[in-house]
């Protein structure tokens, strides 16, 4: 196996802080919101960006970056084209993993849970809240389908821009969101000498209280 020194030699110490169970809030959603607020206050770029991991019909995993659009006690929400690969994979297997990486704070959060489609009212409300350019882009792109060239996408966008120049845009039926209802949430804080702090909240049912346990890094 060939080695690339510029890759294998890269390392740094994680010295931003430590994490103890006493510092954790009883509810992982509240704990997540606290860390997210700290990331936003520090003006970390794309603090709401998360990796969404799904699997296809034969168990192959796929990952992509998506923006978190809402979070509350019910779960974590994102929106997409319902014909996209991730949406189709969720229909086959609703088990989803989310990953937030706030690297300047030496922090990660991993959420495992099940995806549930949002209702029409929530989909329409969010779509209409988007800038018009984003609405047009969503309509122009048949996400995850092959296209012959970028100009095909650009021409479709310009066609729609002209069509809706004087009026509003209705939410398309192929646009919608998913809420990931968490079953397990892990908080990871980088530590010196690679002695990181990991705590996992778990519950088997949405009506149960969360348990918290420390795990070896």
Place of tokens 């003006």: 43
Cα–Cα distance for residue pair 185/59, rounded to 1 Å: 22
Catalytic status, residue 194 = yes
Task: Supply angle C-alpha 215, 216, 217, rounded to 5.
Answer: 110
- Length in residues, the chain: 217
HSE value, Cβ hemisphere, 13 Å, CA-based, for 141 = 14
Cα–Cα distance for residue pair 143/90, rounded to 1 Å: 15
Cα–Cα distance for residue pair 213/82, rounded to 1 Å: 36
Can you name the residues that pair with 56 across neighbouring β-strands? none
Burial of 175 (0-12, 13-18, 19+ CB in 10 A): buried
CB 50 within 8 A of CB 65: yes
**Active-site entry in 60, 130, 179, 194:** 194
The dihedrals phi and psi of 155, each to the nearest 5 degrees, come to: -65, -40
Which residues are tagged catalytic?
A: 194
């Amino acid at each position: 196996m060939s080695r690339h020194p510029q890759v294998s030699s890269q390392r740094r110490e994680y010295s931003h802080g430590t994490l103890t169970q006493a510092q954790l809030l009883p509810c992982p959603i509240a704990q997540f919101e606290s860390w997210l607020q700290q990331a936003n206050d520090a003006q970390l770029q794309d603090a709401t960006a998360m990796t969404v991991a799904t699997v296809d019909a034969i168990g192959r995993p796929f990952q992509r970056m998506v923006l978190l659009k809402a979070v509350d006690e019910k779960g974590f929400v994102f929106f997409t084209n319902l014909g996209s690969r991730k949406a189709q994979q969720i229909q086959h297997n609703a088990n989803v993993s989310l990953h937030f990486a706030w690297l300047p704070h030496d922090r990660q959060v991993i959420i495992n849970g099940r995806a549930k489609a949002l209702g029409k009212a929530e989909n329409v409300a969010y779509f209409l809240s988007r800038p018009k350019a984003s609405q047009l882009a969503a309509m122009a792109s048949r996400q995850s389908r092959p296209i012959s060239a970028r100009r095909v996408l650009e021409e479709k966008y310009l066609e729609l821009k002209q069509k809706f120049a004087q009026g509003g845009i209705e939410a398309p039926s192929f646009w919608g969101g998913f809420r990931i209802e968490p079953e397990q949430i892990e908080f990871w804080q980088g530590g010196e000498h690679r002695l990181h702090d990991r705590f996992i909240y778990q519950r088997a049912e949405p009506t149960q209280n969360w348990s918290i346990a420390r795990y070896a890094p």
